């Protein structure tokens, strides 16, 4: 990213003693060049206040002080006086509209002060003088992103990289813009170019992992998050994402490894504990999972996902009443929480409270109308009550969302084992499967990540 001019360039701008004398040889003031070069010397030795004092003296002698205001701006930057620096850069530009370096420094100052539109104007003026300034194109692209003028942002990213194709940070930032627009393939190509230019560039690897994670392509996400972890082993968000992804891939033992690294470095990380608890559940270590969830509740007891997942673990332990209590607690915190509504519906069904099961599951369907699991469960509950019409209707919706599922019948029969009076289903089931052979998968939702 574009920074302040480095010292090697500043010495060209300020000039050595000989250049200073040559530049001002026409001045009618005999002491001008001496003061100017002394001010340059003070600046280069870090004596910024002395440089500022001398530059201000020179301004009294100089009729066209653009370069002095520019140098004053640089000195004020070193003194951390950003407002005064901006004022001097503004004066430098006003005295010399062709000084693109002054326009660039003015643009940087305005950007730091969050005056994005004015900064864009200053970058544009610099480019009018020198259209080949890749730094100006790059910074202007970033400002246009902030201003949500994305078409112009793309234009200036493209120009910056056509002038200087090895700007790996610009490739990365362009990728972020593409990702924000949902143009994932183009984003990934940008990240890969950044990574090819610099193999140890952490953010390109991290962003590739994030891009694949957001599209639920977990195997590819894992590949790039592992690379990001190699580059920055203690980066919190990378460790969290590695645990989350490994849980999605059912690589629970690997989640334990990453969670151990994370919690050793960040013991208060709720997300790290969350991944650990989910991995324990995935490994069948249900009591350990509940204990870890309890650790989270000691830190924060207002997260509905924790209670929802505790309910799932309790149900796995065949503690239906406890599971229902956890789901109720989740819904107290978030009344429209779809997963908790669906899970409470299932728990009520297991408790033999079918009408309540239908009530809660129907509420969940309002929020998630194309969820095959919810429709599958509703179909089962209506079968319990002998309402064949509603059962077939819900199984039909489930089938459209998840057609020709070979495990559907098996899942249904397994669920039927929980019914209070299984014999009452035989006639209904026979008729149902004679009329509808395609049903959808129906199991309680997975632990949320």
CATH code of residue 37: 1.25.40.10
Instruction: Identify the band that residue 32 occupies on the pLDDT scale cut at 50, 70 and 90.
Output: low
Q: Residue 318: pLDDT above 80?
A: yes
Better-scored residue on pLDDT, 35 or 289: 289
Q: 351 versus 104: which is more confidently predicted?
A: 351
Tokens 């089962």 locate to 380
CA atoms within 13 A on the CB side of 67: 16
276 belongs to a structural domain: no
Q: What is the pLDDT of residue 30?
A: 47
Residue 408 parent element (H or E): helix 408-416
Domain membership of residue 139 (yes or no) is yes
**How much is the pLDDT for 134?**
87
Of 135, 165, 195, which closes a domain?
A: 165
In the chain the first and final C-alpha atoms are separated, in Å, by: 35
On whether the CB atoms of residues 279 and 272 are closer than 8 A, the answer is: no
Mean residue pLDDT across the chain: 80
Contact 266, 272 (CB under 8 A): yes
**Tens digits of residue pLDDT in 349-373:** 999 999 999 999 999 999 998 888 8
> Rounded to 5 degrees, what are φ and ψ at 108?
-60, -45
408-413 CB contacts, 8 Å cutoff, 24+ apart = 408/376, 408/438, 408/439, 408/440, 408/441, 408/442, 409/433, 409/439, 411/376, 411/441, 411/442, 411/443, 412/376, 412/380, 412/439, 412/442
**106: domain range?**
1-165
pTM for this structure?
0.70
* 210-242 tens-digit pLDDT: 999 999 999 999 999 999 999 999 999 999 999
Of 165, 184, 201, the domain-final residue: 165
pLDDT digits (tens, 9 = 90+) for 424-436: 555 555 554 544 4
What is the per-residue DSSP string for 227-277? HHHHHSTT-HHHHHHHHHHHHHTT-HHHHHHHHHHHHHH-TT-HHHHHHHH
131 is a domain residue: yes
Q: Among 121, 149, 165, where does a domain finish? A: 165
pLDDT average, residue stretch 112-124: 83
Which residue is listed with tokens 């990453």? 258
- Which helix (H) or strand (E) is 377 found in, with range? helix 372-384
Is 133 contained in some domain?
Answer: yes
User: Does a structural domain hold residue 108?
Assistant: yes
Map residue 77 onto helix, strand or coil: helix
In a domain, 227, yes or no: no
In the chain, the largest separation of any two C-alpha atoms, in whole Å, equals: 113
The more confidently predicted of residues 105 and 142 is 142
Q: Given pLDDT bands bounded at 50, 70 and 90, which one contains residue 112?
A: confident
pLDDT score of 14 more than 50: no
Please tell me the total count of domains within the chain. Answer: 2
């Amino acid at each position: 990213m574009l920074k302040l001019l480095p010292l090697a360039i500043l010495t060209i701008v300020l000039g050595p003693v000989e250049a200073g004398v040559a530049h001002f040889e026409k001045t009618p003031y005999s002491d001008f060049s001496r003061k100017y070069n002394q001010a340059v010397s003070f600046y280069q030795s870090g004596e910024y206040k002395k440089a500022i004092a001398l530059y201000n003296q020179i301004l009294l002698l100089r009729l066209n002080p653009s370069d002095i205001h520019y140098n004053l701006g640089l000195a004020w930057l070193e003194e951390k006086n950003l407002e005064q620096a901006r004022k001097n850069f503004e004066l430098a530009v006003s005295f010399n509209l062709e000084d693109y370096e002054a326009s660039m420094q003015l643009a940087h100052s305005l950007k730091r002060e969050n005056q994005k539109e004015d900064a864009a104007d200053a970058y544009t003026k610099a480019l009018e003088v020198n259209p080949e300034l890749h730094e100006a194109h790059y910074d202007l692209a970033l400002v246009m992103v902030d201003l949500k003028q994305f078409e112009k942002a793309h234009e200036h990213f493209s120009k910056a990289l056509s002038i200087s194709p090895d700007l790996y940070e610009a490739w990365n930032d362009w990728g972020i813009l593409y990702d924000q627009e949902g143009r994932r393939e183009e984003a990934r190509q940008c990240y890969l170019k950044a990574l090819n230019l610099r193999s140890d560039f952490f953010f390109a690897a991290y962003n590739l992992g994030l891009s694949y994670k957001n599209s639920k392509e977990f195997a590819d996400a894992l590949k790039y998050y592992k690379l990001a972890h190699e580059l920055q082993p203690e980066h919190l968000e990378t460790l969290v994402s590695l645990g989350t992804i490994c849980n999605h891939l059912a690589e629970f033992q690997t989640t334990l490894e990453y969670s151990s690294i994370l919690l050793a470095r960040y013991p208060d990380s709720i997300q790290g504990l969350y991944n650990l608890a989910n991995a324990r559940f995935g490994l069948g270590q249900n009591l350990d999972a509940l204990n870890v969830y309890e650790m989270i509740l000691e830190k924060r007891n207002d997260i509905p996902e924790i209670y929802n997942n505790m309910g799932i673990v309790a149900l796995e332990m065949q503690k239906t009443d406890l599971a229902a209590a956890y789901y109720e607690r989740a819904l107290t915190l978030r009344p429209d929480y779809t997963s908790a509504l669906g899970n409470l519906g299932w728990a009520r069904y297991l408790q033999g409270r079918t009408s309540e099961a239908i009530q809660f599951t129907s509420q969940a369907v309002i929020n998630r109308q194309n969820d095959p699991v919810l429709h599958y469960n509703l179909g089962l509950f209506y079968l319990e009550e002998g309402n064949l019409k509603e059962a077939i209707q819900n199984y039909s919706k489930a089938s459209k969302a998840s057609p020709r599922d070979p495990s559907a019948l098996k899942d249904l029969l397994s669920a039927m084992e929980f019914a209070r009076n299984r014999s009452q289903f035989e006639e209904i089931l026979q008729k149902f499967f004679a009329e509808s052979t395609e049903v959808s998968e129906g199991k309680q939702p997975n632990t949320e990540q």
